[in-house]
Amino acid sequence: MADSDILFGSLLTAMVTPFTDDGKVDYDQAAKLAVKLVDEGCDGLVVTGTTGETSTLKDEENVAMFQAVKDAVGGRAKIVAGTGTNDTEHSIQLSRRAAEVGVDGLLLVTPYYNKPSQAGVQAHFEAVASATDVPVMLYDIPGRSGIPIAVETMLRLADHPNIVAVKDAKGDFAAGTRVMANSDLQFYSGDDGLTLPWMAIGAVGLVGVTTHVVTARYRALIDAIQAGNLKQAQAINFELEPVVRATMTRVPGAVAAKQILQWQGVLPNCAVRLPLVVPTEAEAAQIRADLAEAGMEY
């Protein structure tokens, strides 16, 4: 697939939402972070998704984040707004506000906590996708939502003209292969450590968290895969394993990414909103040890 045919870019970072020391959204830091990520190789950004702590943001904060990032890098990278919730009407209203900002896409997570039937999942996504003309990326993450998007449901959703992509955090390669073989949906790895295998079977890119801290290396990984250079891709993938471990397994991704960005001098603090908390000393030591394996000393 030519780069021009990939709708949202091939390397997207699911951005953290920076906060000031007193807990307010720091839009200036968000804009600076967006510029850094794009300068280092991202051609897309997801704003206020899971890693952006969307569940603890007010709608006004979400929309202001969309605007801040669009103002900073719009035209240089695709801006995908996290507008999915477990309330269909709320998702519709937030999606409409995102459309007014002029984002390039909407990320819609499977409704969580409610545990709807597959018919309910389909109806929810179709209702939100029909509310604007903005292209939609479905977010299949049963570990957080409690339910998967079934293959049959996804194939039916693929018939909707605005539903164009999937962020997969389910890790079912057989299911993903079946959907890609029978639809035009563009798949993205939603698991940083599975980028190589996902792209090997047809995914177009990654929506990542580890990409905050080693953006250029992920750009190199994806470029190697797209060029068909398997040995180079494997070598970079092995190199990235301890960084993925540091960012994705010790504490929640938003917490780890902010902590590492603070160590790197990119963010002035690692503030998160409850119920998230900053790493304990023991957790921070584990993250440092993982990063040290990759030659990153903090």
Could you confirm whether 112 is annotated as catalytic?
no
Which residues lie below 8 Å from residue 105, measured CB to CB, with a gap of 6+? 7, 8, 78, 79, 80, 81, 134, 135, 136, 137, 165
Determine what percent of the chain is predicted with pLDDT higher than 70. 99
pLDDT at 267: 98
Mean pLDDT of the chain: 97
List the end-to-end C-alpha distance of the chain, in Å, as a whole number: 39
Whether residue 2 is predicted with pLDDT greater than 80 in this model: the reply is no
pLDDT at 4: 66
pLDDT at 197: 98
Whether residue 1 is predicted with pLDDT greater than 90 in this model: the reply is no
237-243: which pairs have CB atoms within 8 A and are 24 or more residues apart? 237/195, 237/196, 239/294, 240/192, 240/193, 240/210, 240/214, 240/294, 241/193, 242/290, 242/291, 242/293, 242/294, 243/210, 243/213, 243/214, 243/217, 243/290, 243/291, 243/294, 243/296
What is the per-residue pLDDT across 234-275, written as a single tens digit (0 to 9) for each? 999 999 999 999 999 999 999 999 999 999 999 999 999 999
Q: How confident is the model at residue 47 (pLDDT cuts 50, 70, 90)?
A: very high
Mean pLDDT of 10-28: 98
Q: pTM of the entire structure?
A: 0.97
CA angle, 256 then 16 then 84, to 5°: 120
Q: How confident is the model at residue 91 (pLDDT cuts 50, 70, 90)?
A: very high
What is the per-residue pLDDT across 193-244, written as a single tens digit (0 to 9) for each? 999 999 999 999 999 999 999 999 999 999 999 999 999 999 999 999 999 9
What is the per-residue pLDDT across 164-185, written as a single tens digit (0 to 9) for each? 999 999 999 999 999 999 999 9
Ordered alpha helix ranges (H), 18-87: 27-39, 59-73
Indicate which residue of 36, 70, 167, 170 is catalytic: 167
pLDDT at 5: 85
Indicate which residue of 139, 170, 188, 218 is catalytic: 139
What is the per-residue pLDDT across 107-159, written as a single tens digit (0 to 9) for each? 999 999 999 999 999 999 999 999 999 999 999 999 999 999 999 999 999 99
